[in-house]
Chains A and B, each alone.
Chain A
Amino acid sequence: MNILEFTLLVWLGSLTAGFIGALTGLGGGVVIVPLLTSVFGVDIRYAIGASLVSVIATSCGAASTYIKKGFTNLRMGMFLEVATTIGAIVGALIATFVSTKALAVVLAIVLLYSAYLSQQPKPENIESESTDPLVTHLKLSGTYPTANGLVPYQASSVPLGFGVMWIAGVISGLLGIGSGAFKVLAMDQIMRLPFKVSTTTSSFTIGVTAAASAGVYLARGYIDPGLSMPVMLGILPGALLGAQVLVGAQTKVLRVVFSFVLVMMAFKMVYNSLTGGF
């Protein structure tokens, strides 16, 4: 396969991954790494590097729109970025000395977990009483627009949420994915933020988290221009298109199908790493 054919195929794959990733809310990164390794036979380290830069692109593109719409909690995002940035550097440093087989197994576990998370119902939590003194101290409460005007909300369990964000940062740095699923988990389930605030603030923090591990990856030669180019130029428009379609789309069936694909990819990754593939 020559570079032109390879680039076009990777671009198409990335476009699809970005589109589906945005529709299901899991992000393109978690799909693109297994796609590049199992389907295109790319070394997992190149795949991680390429995924990471495309994650920065989609995160920044999406965050730009969400900030303007008033969903993003900037203070919350910046505060949690402390956890995710430190986590990402730790993850990226670990990734440079563990074996690619270990990376593949960790990715498989994350894929299975993401598939599970995407099946969970997502109720909108609204809590008006502040339970955590940190919230008032750090000015973490906010408001977000709904059909009935602006609705105020509070955050709870900030230290635990901070801890989970650190783990999300480690996973992001380790695997070159945005790990949006874990970030949403921290904000939505633990800190009890409204779901829309969680997802939008999550995408706001993903760019900085990914940039933190990108420095380490760049220095180690993981970010290859020839591979990153079609991945980034595919995932970005795919994700933006997916975000446009998302409103009013029937995503339930899609979620089930997508989870199934994730589970299959997870098993293939483990199988490949055990049989000495890659």
Chain B
Amino acid sequence: MYKLNSNAGWMASASLKIEEIKRSIERAIAFPFSLEIPDGDSEEITPQQPAKTAVQLPHNCEFDTNGNLEKTASEQHLELLLSNILKYGVLIASAIVLLGGILYLIRHGFEPADYHIFRGTPSEFRSVEGVINAILAGSRRGIIQLGLLVLIATPILRVVISLLAFIWRRDLIYIIVTSLVLAGLTYSLVGGYY
């Protein structure tokens, strides 16, 4: 599932996956109040879903026939969406880091390594604008740092999407819960500079 060896192969598949993510967003939005959705609906969706989820369906069906609707169709769409965000976020970030890393080693590989004394990374690698400017100025370490920023953004995006899903469902407690988490993350990313 995680093909880290061939770069080109999975950049191509990444665009396909974006389609898949889009579809799961649409599905998540299409069935927000799934308590009203009859069981038959989950069968209709099956062909569109990737093979992995289809394998899980027997469990879910069994679950629904028990009359226990705690894990609803929209809950499953949200799970699938979050799962995809995490997976492709990590894959895209790794690809950028790998690309930047190879370019960095080609140019700087034979310089001496020195991490013994802490100086702190140069200021251009400490903020989003700095990293973008560094890349535009031809910095190869900047490309690695961009990959790391994409990586840090991945769980944050997951929280944002969860918040939107809870707002859509008018689930007040979890709107508050995810807002608190997001406030913490925002403070860390913005407040850390002051």
- The interface of chain A, by Cβ under 8 A from chain B, is 1-7, 40-43, 45-46, 53, 56-57, 59-61, 63-65, 67-70, 72, 74-75, 78-79, 81-82, 85-86, 88-89, 92, 100, 137-139, 141-143, 145, 149-150, 152, 207-208, 210-230, 232-233, 236-237, 240
**Cβ contacts A to B, 23 pairs, < 8 Å:** A7-B101, A43-B117, A53-B151, A65-B1, A68-B52, A68-B80, A72-B79, A78-B159, A79-B174, A81-B159, A81-B181, A89-B187, A143-B63, A207-B86, A208-B158, A208-B185, A211-B154, A215-B152, A220-B192, A225-B148, A229-B101, A230-B101, A237-B4
> Which A residues lie within 8 Å of B127 (CB)?
218-219
Q: How far is the CA of A234 from the CA of B34 in the complex (A)?
A: 42
Verify A40–B79 contact, CB threshold 8 A: no
Verify B118–A43 contact, CB threshold 8 A: yes
Verify B125–A236 contact, CB threshold 8 A: no
> Which A residues lie within 8 Å of B178 (CB)?
78
Which B-chain residue is minimally distant from A11 (CB atoms)?
A: B101
Q: How far is the CA of A78 from the CA of B82 in the complex (A)?
A: 12
> Which A residues lie within 8 Å of B52 (CB)?
68
Stretch at the interface among B6-14, B25-33, B35-43, B92-100: B92-100
Verify B126–A229 contact, CB threshold 8 A: no
Q: How far is the CA of A230 from the CA of B147 in the complex (A)?
A: 13
B56 within 8 A of A: yes
Verify A221–B189 contact, CB threshold 8 A: no
B44 within 8 A of A: no
Verify A85–B174 contact, CB threshold 8 A: no
Q: How far is the CA of A38 from the CA of B112 in the complex (A)?
A: 19
Which A-chain residue is minimally distant from B194 (CB atoms)?
A: A219
Verify A67–B177 contact, CB threshold 8 A: no
Top 10 A-B residue pairs of the complex, sorted by shortest distance between their CB atoms: A221-B120, A215-B188, A4-B109, A6-B113, A219-B192, A207-B155, A225-B144, A85-B184, A215-B189, A43-B118
* Neighbour of A218 across the interface among B122, B152, B158, B173, CB < 8 A: B152
Verify A218–B115 contact, CB threshold 8 A: no
Verify B113–A60 contact, CB threshold 8 A: no
B contacts with A, residue count (CB < 8 A): 79
Binary A-proximity of B69-112 (CB < 8 A = 1, otherwise 0):
01100010011101110110110011001101100110011111
**Known: A42-B116, A223-B148. Contact between A56 and B155, CB under 8 A?**
yes
Say whether chain B's binding surface is mostly helix, strand, loop, or mixed. helix
Q: How far is the CA of A219 from the CA of B123 in the complex (A)?
A: 8
Q: How far is the CA of A213 from the CA of B116 in the complex (A)?
A: 23
Chain A nearest Cβ from B47, distance in angstroms: 17
Which A-chain residue is minimally distant from B118 (CB atoms)?
A: A43
Verify A61–B144 contact, CB threshold 8 A: no
Q: How far is the CA of A237 from the CA of B94 in the complex (A)?
A: 10
> Which B residues lie within 8 Å of A211 (CB)?
152-156, 185, 188
Chain A nearest Cβ from B122, distance in angstroms: 8
Verify B115–A43 contact, CB threshold 8 A: yes
Verify B185–A233 contact, CB threshold 8 A: no
Verify B121–A221 contact, CB threshold 8 A: yes
* Neighbour of A45 across the interface among B105, B118, B142, CB < 8 A: B118
Verify B193–A219 contact, CB threshold 8 A: yes
Q: How far is the CA of A225 from the CA of B96 in the complex (A)?
A: 12
Chain A nearest Cβ from B5, distance in angstroms: 9
Q: How far is the CA of A222 from the CA of B101 in the complex (A)?
A: 18
Which B-chain residue is minimally distant from A4 (CB atoms)?
A: B109
* Neighbour of A221 across the interface among B56, B125, B191, CB < 8 A: B125
Which B-chain residue is minimally distant from A45 (CB atoms)?
A: B118
Chain B nearest Cβ from A62, distance in angstroms: 9
Q: How far is the CA of A65 from the CA of B84 in the complex (A)?
A: 9
> Which B residues lie within 8 Å of A64 (CB)?
83-84, 86-87, 90
**Known: A4-B109, A60-B154, A219-B192. Contact between A229 and B144, CB under 8 A?**
yes
Verify A143–B71 contact, CB threshold 8 A: yes
Chain A nearest Cβ from B181, distance in angstroms: 5
Chain B nearest Cβ from A205, distance in angstroms: 9
Verify B111–A85 contact, CB threshold 8 A: no
Which B-chain residue is minimally distant from A7 (CB atoms)?
A: B105
